[in-house]
Amino acid sequence: MKNNKYYAQQSIALMDLTLLDHTVAESDIIALCKQAKTESGTTAGICIYPQFIPAARKQLKEQGTPHIRLVTVTNFPNGGDDIEIAVRETKAALEYGADEIDVTFPYRALIAGNEEIGFKLLATCRDVIGDKALMKVIIESGELQDESLIRRATEISIEAGTDMVKTSTGMVDVNATPEAAKTMLNVIKNMNVQGRVGFKASGGVRTAEDAKQYIDMATELFGKEWSEHPEKLRIGASGLLNNVLGLLGHKTKAATAGY
């Protein structure tokens, strides 16, 4: 039986260590990069605003961890329905050198009954990104609330060509929940796209026990190889790192701001 140390270790390998505070400075990004290199391995990525990507890439290279993915966000966090703005931000993220771009779904439009704008915005961003970066779509499940809306947002995101579906921005009252994750993962299964589409739980995942719920859920549906692969399963977090390092017997640092 897997113990908490297994989940702690696995959480590090799947984690996007996140810092999306509007008061962040370059020195905070450097510190985040250093935190991403732990005594028990590196996180999968760091999630930061686009303008900090060059400084982060330089730091990751200097500390010997250039493989850590540089993740950023666009159409974030409000999930607007202006395609021109979303595309402009996405192009800028690519120019800064993002490895992965998390695009927020126009969830308010979907709540209002408009499915078309979500597909069109995401498909246009997918065309812009091409194969230059991984595309992850944030459906903002806590705001959609209704299971049918969560399911439909996930379906639209997959139909538009996303590489991964993500629960939340981490900027609203309700973020990742096991219930939303189950709905989203089941859409991936029912559409038979687990070979090309992954899942990211983000916001409110603060302990190894929290992470365990998502890892076990993915393992049950798709197997251990899927749930242990950061291209398929990702956890967006900031407070989680200290918890898992403590479980692994390492000294912990001050928690980063973010989600």
Catalytic hit among 166, 210, 212, 232: 166
Catalytic hit among 200, 210, 212, 232: 200
Whether residue 93 contacts residue 119, with contact meaning beta carbons closer than 8 Å, is answered with no
Whether residue 36 contacts residue 11, with contact meaning beta carbons closer than 8 Å, is answered with no
Is residue 200 annotated as part of the catalytic site, yes or no?
yes
Catalytic hit among 16, 81, 102, 210: 102
Is residue 2 annotated as part of the catalytic site, yes or no?
no
Is residue 166 annotated as part of the catalytic site, yes or no?
yes
Task: Give catalytic residue positions.
Answer: 102, 166, 200
